[in-house]
Structure 1
Amino acid sequence: MLKVKSGDTDKLGLLYERHKKRLFGFFYNMSGNASLSEDLVQNVFVKILKYKHTFTGEGSFDAWIFKMARNIYYDHFKKYNRKIDVNPLSSIEYKLQDSDDVNAKMDYNDNVVQLRVALGKISQEKREVLVLSKFKEMKFSEIGTILGCSEGAAKVKAHRALKDLKTVFMQMEKI
């Protein structure tokens, strides 16, 4: 990123190749919309080019780029006055294959569907913390930077979000 900042914009392609999947996953786990996620990934790299001068090299590049991604995500919904809505079933496909463990695969797929539905039922802030910590496997210090809080506060938020997700998931199991 420091090379991009100094004017070697050809290196932006390398950054794109390294980070596009993680960013797409973040947006997709937040929105459940593949098309929107692709657009938002592109927006991140446009903003990187526009605001390259703000990158100082101090701290984690991942935290800097995901903070930008988070702002782009929320700005998108503010700009279009849209409600953030996750379609939890849009990302799950059942693939039945000839094998001895079809029932195990079906149970696993059912649990994944239930987890997606449960994620859709918790608040946007809690879903965001879980996506960053569990799906993107970011460090709590980076999550704290992204969310604008301390590392300890990020841990507490993740713990509470996981607790709420478990509660929602267990309630769904009873139904």
Structure 2
Amino acid sequence: MHELTDNALMLKVKSGDLNKMGLLYERHKKRMFGFFYNMNGDAMTSEDLVQNVFVRMLKYKHTYTGEGSFLAWMFRTARNVNNDHFKKNKQNYNQYDIASVEYKLEAEDTIGRVSDKKDNINYLKIALQKLSPEKREVLVLSKLKEMKFSEIGAVMGCSEGAAKVKAHRALKDLKLVFHQMQIR
């Protein structure tokens, strides 16, 4: 039996086969949790927000067209859930915990050669906290979730080119803050 694509599953959900949402949940719950955890650093809140995304996807299944990337539609929903949660609870986005993504520094040299990883990870935590939620979000989607810029554009409501520019500027700002902290 061949495996249905995410688009096909969501179209079945839209047409009334609500059991297919369970398959989508199983496929994407870890990815969604990682997105939320990278945005807010709180595991319990992240678990709740993952549930809220899939509830909202069910509620707004009628808006799904099947055109474009399912991931972009799902992450746009996740972005809205995240924003709504923090507006409602008036919590600060700057509670970011980079410890869960320490491995990325080992895999990529995005910030430059480092001599003492622990110090640099602490600087990175602080530098990420100083970025705006939008800049942090574009970095999480592009660098940690490794989404294509066309998908990031769809999530953020902008063109692929604008998403590239936002990611470039966010990374540039992160590097600047990081290097300024190292000088001190």
Q: With structure 1 as the length reference, what TM-score do the two structures score?
A: 0.86
Q: Residue type of the partner of 1:53?
A: H
Deviation at residue 112 of structure 1 after TM alignment? 2.9
Secondary structure at the counterpart of residue 116 of structure 2:
helix
Match of 1:32 among 36, 41, 44: 41
Which whole-Å CA distance do the structure 1 matches of 2:101 and 2:141 have between them?
20
Which residue does 1:101 correspond to in 2? Answer: none
Map 1:51-62 → 2, pairs under 5 A: 51-62=60-71
Which consecutive unaligned segments of at least 5 residues does structure 2 have?
1-9, 103-114
Which residue does 2:81 correspond to in 1? Answer: 72
Which whole-Å CA distance do the structure 2 matches of 1:129 and 1:29 have between them?
11
Q: Residue type of the partner of 2:49?
A: L
Q: With structure 2 as the length reference, what TM-score do the two structures score?
A: 0.82
Which residue does 2:152 correspond to in 1? Answer: 143
Which whole-Å CA distance do the structure 2 matches of 1:55 and 1:133 have between them?
24
Which residue does 1:48 correspond to in 2? Answer: 57
Which whole-Å CA distance do the structure 1 matches of 2:177 and 2:119 have between them?
15
Match of 2:32 among 9, 23, 33: 23
1:118 aligns with 2:130: no
Residues 57-78 of structure 1: per-residue CA shift (max 9 Å, x gap):
0000000000000001000111
Query: What percentage of residue pairs aligned between the two structures are identical?
Result: 69
Structure 1 runs, 4 residues or longer, greater than 6 Å off = none
Match of 1:5 among 4, 11, 14: 14
Which whole-Å CA distance do the structure 2 matches of 1:151 and 1:63 have between them?
12
Deviation at residue 90 of structure 1 after TM alignment? 7.1
Which residue does 1:84 correspond to in 2? Answer: 93
Residues 89-146 of structure 1: per-residue CA shift (max 9 Å, x gap):
77589xxxxxxxxxxxx93344333322211111111101100111111111111111
Q: Residue type of the partner of 1:78?
A: K
Which whole-Å CA distance do the structure 2 matches of 1:128 and 1:89 have between them?
13
Indicate conservation of the 8 Å contact 1:88/1:113, yes or no. no
Across the aligned residues of Structure 1 and Structure 2, the Cα RMSD in angstroms comes to: 1.9
Q: Is the deviation greater in 6-15 or in 155-164?
A: 6-15
Indicate conservation of the 8 Å contact 1:141/1:150, yes or no. yes
Which residue does 1:171 correspond to in 2? Answer: 180
